[in-house]
Amino acid sequence: MAPNARIIKVELQVNDMDRHYYQAHALTLAQHPSETDLRAMVRLLAFALHADPRLEFGRGLSTEDEPDLWQKDLTGRIERWIEVGQPDESRLRKASGRADQVVVLNYGGRSADLWWEKNAGALERIRNLTVFDLSADAGEAIAADAARNMQVQCHIQDGQVQWLDGDKTIDIVLRRRMSPT
C-alpha cells in the first residue's frame, strides 16, 4: 500500500441475476494519492461485475506485473485479469498470455473513444479479451458517491446494472466493445 493512501471500507452486496451470484463482500480499497475517486469507484464497480470469492484487488497503480483486479484458481493459475481505464495494448497482450480471460472496463468519455480508435485493430487480435465502456455520466455519478465508508448494493440483471448507495440509485448500462472470438 502506498504511503498516504486513502483507505476506503466498503460493504458491497452483489445480486447478479445473470450469473446467479448473491453475496456480501467486506472490501478494503487502498486509493493511491494520485488515483482519482472516479478510478477507485470504477475498480469497485469492476469487482461487483465480476464478483467471486477469489477475486482480489491488485497492489495498485505502481505495480506493472499485476492488474487492477485478478482471480486465481487454487493452483495459482490466473483465471481472470481485469484492467480499468485505457491500458497499453502491449500490457493486454502480455496479460492474455498469462490469464484465461482478460477484461477491460474502459471509462473516460472522449478519451475512452480515442483509446479504442487507436488500439482497436491490435486488440481484436487478442482472442481472450473483453472490452466494456462505462459512460461518462455513470462514471461521474458513482465517483460522486466515493467516501471512506460505504454501503453499496449492486443489482445486475440482463446486462443492466443498478448501483444503490444510501438513498441514491444509479442505472448503469455498459457498452460491450468486443468479446472473445
CB 153 within 8 A of CB 167: no
User: Which cell is 158 given?
Assistant: 440482463
Q: DSSP 3-state assignment of 141?
A: helix
Burial (CB < 10 A; 0-12, 13-18, 19+), residue 86, is: middle
Cα distance between residue 123 and residue 93, in whole Å: 8
| pTM of the predicted model as reported, rounded to 2 decimal places | 0.94
Query: How does pLDDT run along the chain (181 residues), one tens digit per residue?
Result: 556 789 999 999 999 999 999 999 999 999 988 899 999 999 999 999 999 999 999 986 666 789 999 999 999 999 999 999 999 999 999 999 999 999 999 998 899 999 999 999 999 999 999 999 999 999 999 999 899 999 999 999 998 999 999 889 999 989 999 999 6
Q: Which of 100, 17, 32 is nearest to 8 (CA)?
A: 32
Query: Where does the chain have alpha helices with state H?
Result: 37-49, 89-98, 110-123, 136-144
Class of domain 6-178 (CATH, top level) = alpha beta
Q: Which of 113, 133, 114 is nearest to 173 (CA)?
A: 133
Q: Which amino acid is at 159?
A: G
Q: Which of 125, 107, 96 is nearest to 39 (CA)?
A: 107
